[in-house]
Amino acid sequence: MKIGKIIFGAMLIASAATVSMAAEPEAIFKRCVVCHGKSAEKVPPGGVIVSATLSADEIKKSLKLYKSDKEHGGKMKVSMQTQVKNLSDEDIDAVADYIFKNFHIAK
């Protein structure tokens, strides 16, 4: 009985630690692929710009605006707002840096 409580407690601690850790940028980016393409090379539905042409700072600014400003964005802004609403600023910074580092296309 005692060992079962110890194991259960350890599992709770481990799951809590997993939830509080920031997601890996690759995992976050996988959610973007449907609209933005495997290399952020597509203009998304209702969009006007290819994400891969933006600087990391421009991506960060835009994602943070989608999160904080309900008026930011075009026709698909609700989709973007849904995607970023549960991301921390650290997650946003990490995925923006990931996109820029791995997929940037010079204008």
Model confidence over 1-12: pLDDT tens digits?
555 444 444 444
Chain mean pLDDT for the chain? 86
Please check whether residue 46 is in contact with residue 76, taking contact to mean a CB–CB distance below 8 angstroms.
Answer: yes
Determine which of 13-22, 68-77, 78-87 has the lowest per-residue pLDDT on average: 13-22
Q: What is the C-alpha separation between 74 and 80, in angstroms, rounded?
A: 10
Fold of 23-103: Cytochrome Bc1 Complex; Chain D, domain 2 (1.10.760)
Please check whether residue 29 is in contact with residue 98, taking contact to mean a CB–CB distance below 8 angstroms.
Answer: yes
The residue extents of the domains of the chain are 23-103
> In this model, does residue 62 exceed pLDDT 60?
yes
pLDDT band at 97 (very low <50, low <70, confident <90, very high): very high
Q: What is the C-alpha separation between 51 and 27, in angstroms, rounded?
A: 17
